[in-house]
Structure 1
């Protein structure tokens, strides 16, 4: 009988070790009953947690981790929340960053959303127990905020507002619009294509830089369903220019829609060239529409204000059913209008000195911990298609460029901008309550280097 070779002995020992490790892998039911893991089930759901447990158990069977390390490895592998999206500290210097969801909601709006997460009276009159007006509170708040409006209507976003108005008032007919207002918005969407999708025909008037009231009058005829006056939300035209005001377009026998885009309810001295709803209605517009998640500072929604009879035509149109907002949007919008000033309004009200003071305090804290940081004046923008060309005096903390990527990888992520061989953390859009969070994120990145 031949002797067993050393290689075969070693192989058997490894097999025995692997088999022993596999036997010692904690059972799925035991892991799911672990108090710390069970607590995450309440946050993330059983299916997601169980799938993570299965993956970590396989790592243990493969010998990558020891059996006693499995519970901690499961907790480390679980995501911080059920949704994949991460919160972001907006240090870009763009106040309304479309890719970051534009306006952050106010504490009042967040509380209203939380209160409406269950069943709510979104379309029920609790006084009578009968069906009520959908979002009656939000509609009343809009009318109170803009007394010149006879009625209000809310849809998914401002593009939906334009589509609904064009469909209800001009499907199969002409819409008159200046050539200088044929805009293209983000991701390649073009207004002419949007109008064409409604079944209306676009009648272009004037030139790129000059369109007069006479151009509109010459175009309006029996087949005209609507005149649209569009705010150039993301570009400006300078030099030899001319455009007709809303007050010059009324009285032509067709409704006038003023697409204001950015959502100012009344004039704002800081942005004197930005159109507002109250002025447009006083000038005679039958309808105005705008986004609620821009300068209004609310949730994503499209707001329509104007004549009651015209808005009732839109509300009764079958397309409205497909475009109406949900209860959470209506709750957040009402709270934005009735509650304290939202973060966007507070940010615009801050002075350049306020912003520089905050940036200086953050930079001093970082330098005190050995980080190369300096505060400096900067320029921000409103963003989100609002106030094109307007620069807002701001302040930023300058860090070495290498901080940009690891700050973006954190949770919450911190998003600055890379410029002039540095990573700039602009405080324009950062809530002052988050200044310490911003500094702590930089400190954490520095400790990991």
Structure 2
């Protein structure tokens, strides 16, 4: 059929708007429906003119309109199923909040709150009061405050203590923290001038001391949380840096990154320094994230000596970097769980996933495998494989967590197509492709998601 003739068969906008299937769309703005109709007709017209489309049915256009309406009227930020085995998956939102944190967010968001109101005195209060005492109780710090992420925390600390001055840092600690954001760039934005000392793999105490002058504002130590340098290496301990800082009356700041409150070695994981250890060693100021190993919402937590924290609270940047009531509610609820270690391990989702024993994971994989095999025997091969999960989120980069995955190999569909269809679902399923199989790591799955995966794969198998 000629392009001109094919174009003449394209339905008019009004015809589609009066189609029974499109009229039946409920709870969607007419503007969205109209926009979807016009865009669909335009797409068909372009395909016809380019020669890509040689024929079509009226029903095809109607179906495409319905798909477009559904997509346009759905939330763009949506729930996904994380079957990758990466617990702190930055692209998938990092830490999943505990039930108590979710309840706290709903409570704070759905009604008014005492965000900045002192109920006891009946006057304006500080939003930091809701979490400062908890942070100090857990870490042993004199004072604390919270901003919207750890990069902001580092920037605020340096802006307060080293603006217009020099900040000394080891060359081996000039990390990139993801999304092309780098510690030197964050330092530059703070107004502090970076002074690099040592080499990539070795930095000595005398390197720091030789760089100190009358314009030195802080000594900064950055924990290598998202990479490791192995072999012929040396770095200066916090204790030695603190002695040097006291000698020259210069504050020592540590960006510890992940924000670990519990020694995870006792649960079979690699050693990662805790915030409490840094405070106990006398660090002046320490910064860390709320949504990594801590298992809470995105936040940058600053703890340490009161005289420095008080200065930061008065910095004009603080207002630009402050957290909102929902983040504050989630953080307070998460911190309260840390008042009892066993409660934290059981109820904070990140910690629970990281400490799952291998037998529990094996049984979970068997359950998921059984559900898939019973429904997909003609669609794909299903088997259980021993594999490794990751911590993710720039934490514990060398940690390989033993796990079990359910591996599926489609028999009559390409792996790429199946992956695309899984990502296109109302609740997208994100697995990981390895060789010729799609892997579903049960470590990062919730039990109620097994049925969603089975139902979704069955639906795909029928297409």
- Give deviations 1:148-184, integer Å, cap 9, x for gaps: 1111110010000000001100011111111111112
Inter-CA distance 439–138: structure 2 relative to 1 (3 Å threshold): farther
Count of aligned positions:
415
Match of 1:392? Answer: 401
- The structural deviation recorded for 1:266 is 3.3
Match of 1:11? Answer: none
- The structural deviation recorded for 1:282 is 0.5
Match of 1:405? Answer: 420
5+ residue gaps, structure 1: 1-13, 42-48
Structure 2 CA distance, aligned partners of 1:155 and 1:304? 8
Match of 2:291? Answer: 293
Inter-CA distance 443–23: structure 2 relative to 1 (3 Å threshold): closer
In the alignment, is the contact (CA less than 8 A) between 2:287 and 2:303 conserved in 1?
A: yes
- Give deviations 1:344-367, integer Å, cap 9, x for gaps: 011012112211221121112211
Match of 2:372? Answer: 366
Structure 2 CA distance, aligned partners of 1:222 and 1:85? 50
> Which deviates more, 425-434 or 240-249?
425-434
Inter-CA distance 22–143: structure 2 relative to 1 (3 Å threshold): same
Inter-CA distance 208–445: structure 2 relative to 1 (3 Å threshold): same
Match of 1:201? Answer: 193
> Which deviates more, 264-273 or 404-413?
264-273
Structure 2 CA distance, aligned partners of 1:180 and 1:115? 44
Structure 1 CA distance, aligned partners of 2:355 and 2:264? 10
- The structural deviation recorded for 1:88 is 1.1
Match of 1:54? Answer: 34
Match of 2:460? Answer: 445
Among candidates 155, 159, 164, match of residue 163 of structure 1: 155
Structure 2 CA distance, aligned partners of 1:443 and 1:298? 35
Match of 1:91? Answer: 83
Structure 2 CA distance, aligned partners of 1:414 and 1:318? 43
Match of 2:50? Answer: none
Question: Where in structure 2 are the equivalents of 1:158-197 lying within 5 Å?
Answer: 158-197=150-189
Match of 1:327? Answer: 325
- The structural deviation recorded for 1:218 is 2.5
Structure 2 CA distance, aligned partners of 1:86 and 1:267? 33
Match of 1:4? Answer: none
In the alignment, is the contact (CA less than 8 A) between 1:92 and 1:416 conserved in 2?
A: yes
Structure 2 CA distance, aligned partners of 1:56 and 1:288? 51
Inter-CA distance 437–348: structure 2 relative to 1 (3 Å threshold): same
- Give deviations 1:193-235, integer Å, cap 9, x for gaps: 2211222111111111111223222322322111111111221
Among candidates 93, 100, 111, match of residue 103 of structure 2: 111
Match of 1:10? Answer: none
The 3-state SS of whatever aligns with 1:436 is helix
- The structural deviation recorded for 1:444 is 2.5
In the alignment, is the contact (CA less than 8 A) between 2:32 and 2:73 conserved in 1?
A: no
Inter-CA distance 24–155: structure 2 relative to 1 (3 Å threshold): closer
Match of 1:265? Answer: 261
Specify the structure having the higher radius of gyration (Cα): 1
Structure 2 CA distance, aligned partners of 1:81 and 1:256? 51
Scaled by the length of structure 1, the TM-score of the pair is 0.84
Structure 2 CA distance, aligned partners of 1:229 and 1:65? 65
Match of 1:336? Answer: 334
Inter-CA distance 188–208: structure 2 relative to 1 (3 Å threshold): same
Match of 1:8? Answer: none
The 3-state SS of whatever aligns with 2:295 is coil
Match of 1:380? Answer: 389
Structure 2 CA distance, aligned partners of 1:187 and 1:75? 32
Structure 1 CA distance, aligned partners of 2:199 and 2:36? 65
> Which deviates more, 391-400 or 159-168?
391-400
Structure 2 CA distance, aligned partners of 1:149 and 1:431? 36
Structure 1 CA distance, aligned partners of 2:85 and 2:367? 18
Among candidates 439, 450, 455, match of residue 424 of structure 1: 439
In the alignment, is the contact (CA less than 8 A) between 1:96 and 1:382 conserved in 2?
A: yes
Structure 2 CA distance, aligned partners of 1:192 and 1:24? 56
> Which deviates more, 109-118 or 172-181?
109-118
- The structural deviation recorded for 1:135 is 4.0
Inter-CA distance 24–137: structure 2 relative to 1 (3 Å threshold): closer
Match of 2:282? Answer: 284
